[in-house]
Amino acid sequence: MYEEPPERINIGQTLLAAECPAAVGVGTKTPDHALRRWKDVAGACLSWHQGTDPGEAIRDRFGWMDPVQRDLCTGLFRTYVRLMADSRDRVSDYEPEGSTVFHPSGGASAVASVLFALDGGELVKLRTGRTGSVPEEIAVLVEGLDDGESLIEVMAADGRIETLEMEPDERRERLARLFALWDAQREADRPTGTRPGLWCYRCPRPARCGHYPAPDGARPASTTRTILMPKTWARRLPVCERQVAWKRLYGIPEDTGDDDPSEARAAGVRFHDLLAASLLADDPDGAFDLALQSVPPSEVANMQWLYERHRRLEAEHGHPVTSVGVEYEVGATIVVPGLHLDSRDRITPGKPVAVVFMGRADATGREADGTPTVVEHRTGAGAADIDQIELDLYAVGTALIARRTEAAVHLHLLGLPDGPRCVRQHYDEEALGEAVERLRDPAGIVANWHPLDATGPPYSVGPWCGGCGFRARCEEYRT
């Protein structure tokens, strides 16, 4: 009789499932360009350590890529070569086991991998994005080190090397939390319900979890290529497809420093946080005043002015809304014909592609007659622009999740010079059907972007380029 090996605890999946139980289960084929690039950069790094000329490693590993992704990977690889020049001949193990920490029961273990090991017991991790390992992974990595071993993380995008360390008390706390989360998820008979939040934007199951349903009720197959399209980026589709595709499909990093929020936008975000604290409170004014204490004194007057306008609009509203949720994700899955990519990277046109439109509503609730409603608060003086994609995705998503044949969307324009105003659009059953058809147009654009070629989606040149986070890279690849 053979002894069963310990069950492996997936750190990332365990943490994601703690945010939403519906994150567990079969997903769909979401974009994996960042992982593809990591694998190829890691392969080039290993080839270089084994004596391969850098130019040859670049040709061998990045030759399949379009120019944008090829040059991106080449830059990451050359940065790695520069950072690790003194360690090129020091690799002692090209396939180390990484770190393993056993669950107290002994029946499971958490494993964190490393790229390779150097002479002297130094383990190396490689990161090609701008974020490093999460604390729970660091805890597993450090806890699993043998005596005399150390750990570094090469941040190729930032051009730096970090030593990964964690004090024993924090390690124990992180590991205890990880194992407790895993235990709770194992003890549940079956994960049920959705708990939408910002984690939805990194979940592999938005098209299947049920919170962003398809209008016809069908659930996309696990082999369906799926692209998540947040409201903010969907609104930019008519302006420049390349900008949206680079962000949402190919995961191209933005130019450093170009995407810093403006002062006006930062103030708007702060007001939204303050208002969210008051909307569901028994004493809204008191809750707002309490939250206002965290705001810098120089911004208090503006925050109070916006709140007074909010209260005035609420008092005069012809269709008042009773809020039941704040900062709540709403959306729908639109399945359209598009380009399918199989496991051998063969492309077939005319196959189902799921585009998940998603927006973070400032508030959700119901009007006096029970109509499910979404409310968006705009704080800018020029915030009167109405975007049909935004209205449609909110209306369709709200009606579907509420299982109603009607919905209403309110835009509360608080910063207009002539006073606050509500723009309300009511959708009956016929209007909801029309909204679904309108959403099929942008979904069709997204579904037919080339799955592998970042130069495929067309770019547009105009005033919007000034605030684009991809401007420098985009200008380099215009033909």
> What is the DSSP track for 227-285?
EEEEHHHHTTTTT-HHHHHHHHTS-PPPPTTTTPPPHHHHHHHHHHHHHHHHHTSSSHH
CA R_g for the chain: 25
pLDDT computed for residue 384 by the predictor:
58
Confidence of residue 191 (pLDDT cuts 50, 70, 90): low
The number of helices, as runs of H, and strands, as runs of E, in the chain is 14, 14
Where along the chain do its domains lie?
A: 7-182, 224-260+317-479
Chain-wide mean pLDDT for the chain?
Answer: 93
Nearest to residue 206, comparing CAs of 117, 39, 333? 333
CATH of 7-182 among 3.90.320, 1.10.150, 3.40.50, 1.10.3470: 3.90.320
Residue 274: CB atoms within 10 Å: 22
Residue 259 has pLDDT above 50, yes or no: no
pLDDT computed for residue 265 by the predictor:
57
Task: Report the range of poorest mean pLDDT among 72-76, 380-384, 394-398, 473-477.
Answer: 380-384
Confidence of residue 73 (pLDDT cuts 50, 70, 90): very high
pLDDT tens across 402-431, in order? Answer: 999 999 999 999 999 889 999 999 999 999
Contact yes or no for 401/437 (Cβ under 8 A): no
209 contacts: CB under 8 Å, gap ≥ 6: 20, 22, 23, 25, 194, 203
Instruction: Give the CA count within 13 Å in the CB-facing half-sphere of 161.
Output: 15
pLDDT computed for residue 261 by the predictor:
44
Nearest to residue 455, comparing CAs of 79, 127, 74, 72? 72
Nearest to residue 156, comparing CAs of 212, 89, 76? 76
pLDDT tens across 328-374, in order? Answer: 999 999 999 999 999 999 999 999 999 999 999 999 999 999 999 99
Query: What is the average pLDDT across 172-183?
Result: 96
Residue 296: CB atoms within 10 Å: 8
Residue 321 has pLDDT above 80, yes or no: yes
Q: What is the DSSP string of 309-341?
A: HHHHHHHH-SS-EEEEEEEEEEEEEEEEEEEEE
Residue with tokens 């006073």: 419
Query: What is the average pLDDT across 9-32?
Result: 94
CA distance linking residue 162 with residue 130, whole number of Å: 12
Confidence of residue 192 (pLDDT cuts 50, 70, 90): low
Residue 457: CB atoms within 10 Å: 21
Contact yes or no for 449/458 (Cβ under 8 A): no
Contact yes or no for 223/30 (Cβ under 8 A): no
pLDDT tens across 24-40, in order? Answer: 889 999 999 999 999 99
Nearest to residue 341, comparing CAs of 331, 352, 326, 328? 352
As given in the structure block, the two tokens for residue 276 are: 């969210």
Contact yes or no for 77/44 (Cβ under 8 A): yes
Share of the chain above pLDDT 70, in %: 95
pLDDT tens across 114-156, in order? Answer: 999 999 999 999 999 999 999 999 999 999 999 999 999 999 9
> Higher confidence at residue 94 or residue 106?
94
Q: What is the DSSP string of 130-174?
A: S----HHHHHHHHHTPPTT-EEEEEETTTTEEEE----HHHHHHH
pLDDT computed for residue 133 by the predictor:
95
3-state secondary structure of 93: strand
According to DSSP, the β-strands at 116-118 and 122-127 are: antiparallel
Confidence of residue 59 (pLDDT cuts 50, 70, 90): very high
As given in the structure block, the two tokens for residue 372 are: 């499910």
pLDDT tens across 211-243, in order? Answer: 999 999 999 999 999 999 999 999 999 999 999
CA distance linking residue 248 with residue 68, whole number of Å: 15
Q: What is the DSSP string of 376-436?
A: EEE-STTTT---HHHHHHHHHHHHHHHT-S-EEEEEEE---TT--EEEEEEE-HHHHHHHH
Contact yes or no for 194/209 (Cβ under 8 A): yes
Which residues are 112's β-sheet partners? 99
pLDDT tens across 450-472, in order? Answer: 999 999 999 999 999 999 999 99
Our measurement of the distance from residue 191's CA atom to the centroid of its chain's CA atoms, rounded to an integer in Å, reads 22
Confidence of residue 186 (pLDDT cuts 50, 70, 90): confident
Nearest to residue 396, comparing CAs of 427, 361, 364? 427
pLDDT computed for residue 381 by the predictor:
74
CA distance linking residue 395 with residue 438, whole number of Å: 12
Confidence of residue 207 (pLDDT cuts 50, 70, 90): very high
